[in-house]
Amino acid sequence: MLRLERDLSAPPAIPEAGIAAVETVLRSGWLHRYGETMGDASEASLLEAEFASMLGSRYVVAVNSCGSAMFLALLCTGIKPGDRVLMNAFTLAPVPGAVAHAGAEHVLVEVTPDLVTDLDDLAGKAEASGARHLLLSHMRGHIADMGKLMRLCDRLGITVIEDCAHTMGASWAGRPTGRFGRVGCFSLQAYKHVNAGEGGLLATDDPDVAARAVLYSGSYMLYGQHRVRPDEATFERWRDVTPNYSLRMSNLVAAAARPQLPLLAERARIWNDRYGRLAVALSALPGLRLPQRPQEEEFVQSSIQFAVSGMRDAQFSAFLERCRARGVYLKWFGAKQAAGYTSVSAQWGFLRDPYTPPATAEVLERLCDMRIPLTLTEAECGTIAAIIGEELARRSEA
């Protein structure tokens, strides 16, 4: 019986230049990004400057996770305890976690069958709730119509914070994700487009947001060691009234990340090639639906999603188990219980009213999600599609 021998969970490898840079930092002992004699040439400071240049952002602040970047983005744009924050209901747990960390209340917005924010529901929820912040997750690399979304949010006076954990290097109509809202938040977690194990990057053009993020993240009074930073007068406004939350990035993480930035374009080419091959093959299978991708969406797709129709619960569970037994590990967002990295809003018991909005629940009910490792070969794309096709054909066995 055909079986996939590739580990679909394998993260991107650290290049030799990254390994050498990490070794240099370890031998130096300068793992902490700040020091009285360090200046602005630390690995973390250089990463901020290089990513800002790549993205076209005035400021970038390196922190210990994308979750921390989102939390700081909320604080630095004015969220207070008890405020309401709009967020798309299909996302991963660090997004509602950042809202809870800020002491705010979640307002869940529906997603469409194409896995993007439903703009009609967004408008209705914004007006009904009075929320004036949107934490927008480009979940699994799917990007909403950002032109329409930003016009809607501008009209309603909504501050947009973008969660770009799955869209580093992606864009909408030629404009990079993270450059539409007031703040863009990026991830360096092991399974993201740049693998530093864990880490986050907060990008903004707003000097007050940047200065506050630097201070909140834990710069002490050494904020002058940030190479891309606001002027001294901006820091003076905030330095004595901003607590230190110790969320900064270490030089060790930055050293692993920096050499991967120039590799992003080639990684995107490989991921999108494998995604395209899988999408063509899976779209031909009866009972499968893949999200539609608009022409304006320039994605970097390190995973693939598809919905299965015509299966009862027992049949679908059996289908997933048979695929996994043959090496094709498919995650299921519609499962009754959270598993691994996968959960839905009805399972987030820290929400005041945990539930999954009805349209989103229907979208997720039979949604499959699969990682695409960089090492996946063209032939293995065919193997995956063949295994899924064979197991779909056995649906009547459960």
Q: State the pairing for strand pair 159-163/200-204.
A: unpaired
**Domain residue spans in the chain?**
16-262, 264-397
Contact, 113 vs 134, CB < 8 A?
Answer: no
Q: For residues 318 and 133, what is the distance between their CA atoms, to the nearest angstrom?
A: 41
Nearest to 359 by CA among 93, 135, 108, 162: 108
Least reliable range by pLDDT among 303-307, 344-348, 373-377: 344-348
Contact, 345 vs 22, CB < 8 A?
Answer: no
Cα R_g (the chain), whole angstroms = 21
Tens of pLDDT, residues 322-345: 999 999 999 998 888 888 888 999
Least reliable range by pLDDT among 102-111, 219-228, 332-341, 350-359: 332-341
pLDDT at residue 398 is higher than 70 = no
Q: CA triplet 51, 54, 59: central angle to 5 degrees?
A: 50
pLDDT at residue 1 is higher than 90 = no
Helices (H), the chain: 16-28, 43-55, 66-76, 94-101, 119-129, 146-156, 207-217, 232-238, 251-257, 264-283, 313-325, 358-364, 378-392
Burial of 398 (0-12, 13-18, 19+ CB in 10 A): middle
pLDDT-derived band at 396, boundaries 50, 70, 90: low
Nearest to 308 by CA among 328, 289, 335: 289
Mean pLDDT along residues 176-201: 98
Q: State the pairing for strand pair 105-109/59-63.
A: unpaired
pLDDT of residue 250: 98
Q: For residues 339 and 323, what is the distance between their CA atoms, to the nearest angstrom?
A: 17
pLDDT of residue 185: 98
Q: For residues 183 and 135, what is the distance between their CA atoms, to the nearest angstrom?
A: 10
Please provide the CATH number assigned to the domain covering 264-397: 3.90.1150.10
Instruction: Quote the tokens at residue 175.
Output: 């404009």
Provide the percentage of residues in the chain whose pLDDT is more than 70: 99
Q: How far is CA 185 from the centre of its chain?
A: 8
16-262 sits in which CATH class? alpha beta
Q: For residues 271 and 299, what is the distance between their CA atoms, to the nearest angstrom?
A: 10
Mean pLDDT along residues 81-101: 97
Q: What SS3 class is residue 182?
A: coil
C-alpha to C-alpha distances, 398 to 128, 318, 336, 391, nearest whole angstrom? 44, 7, 19, 11
Mean pLDDT along residues 365-393: 97
pLDDT-derived band at 34, boundaries 50, 70, 90: very high
Nearest to 304 by CA among 281, 287, 327: 281
